[in-house]
Amino acid sequence: MTTVRLWRWSSALHRRGLRRLARVVQRINGFVYHNDLGAGARLGSGVTLGHHGLGVVVHDNVVLGARVHLWHNVTLAVRAKPGSEHRIVVGDDVMIGAGATVITPRLGSVHIGAGARIGAGAVVTHDVPPGVTVVGVPAAQIP
C-alpha cells in the first residue's frame, strides 16, 4: 500500500465521520513512511509524493488540486485550528520542491496558483500567482 493510498483512505474515513479510524490510518502511514498527512486534507486526482512522502507534513486544512507533486520534507502548515475557514489551497499541476515550507499568516489563508513551482527550501508566506516560480527565504518570484 502506497503513502498516497493510505492518505486517501484516511481522508475518506474522515469525511465519512469515522475520525478515530481515520487517525489510526494516518498514524500507520506516519509510522511506516515517517510523515504526518492530515486526514482532513482534500486531495485532487493524481497527487504524488516524492520519496514515499518521507518527512512530509500536511495540515488538515489543506486543499490539493489535481496532479500536485510534493517532494520529501515539504511542510504545508496552517496557523489555525483544523476545521476553520483558514487554509492552504494548492492549484492543479503545482510542484513543491524538497524541504519547502508553505505557512499561512496567523488566522489567514494562502493560495498557490495552478502551474506554480516552489523551489527546494523555499519559505512561502503569501499567495503565489498561477504559473510563477518562487525560490528563497522568504520566497520571491524569479525575474
Mean pLDDT in each 10-residue stretch from start to end of the chain (143 residues)? 92 94 95 93 94 93 96 95 92 97 94 97 96 92 79
Q: What integer pLDDT is reported at residue 103 of this predicted model?
A: 96
Specify the CATH number of the domain 43-141.
2.160.10.10
Sheet holding 133-135, edge to edge: 48-49, 69-70, 95-96, 117-118, 133-135, 140-141
Domain ranges of the chain: 43-141
Q: What integer pLDDT is reported at residue 10 of this predicted model?
A: 95
Q: What integer pLDDT is reported at residue 107 of this predicted model?
A: 86
Task: Give pTM, 2 decimals.
Answer: 0.91
Q: What integer pLDDT is reported at residue 123 of this predicted model?
A: 97
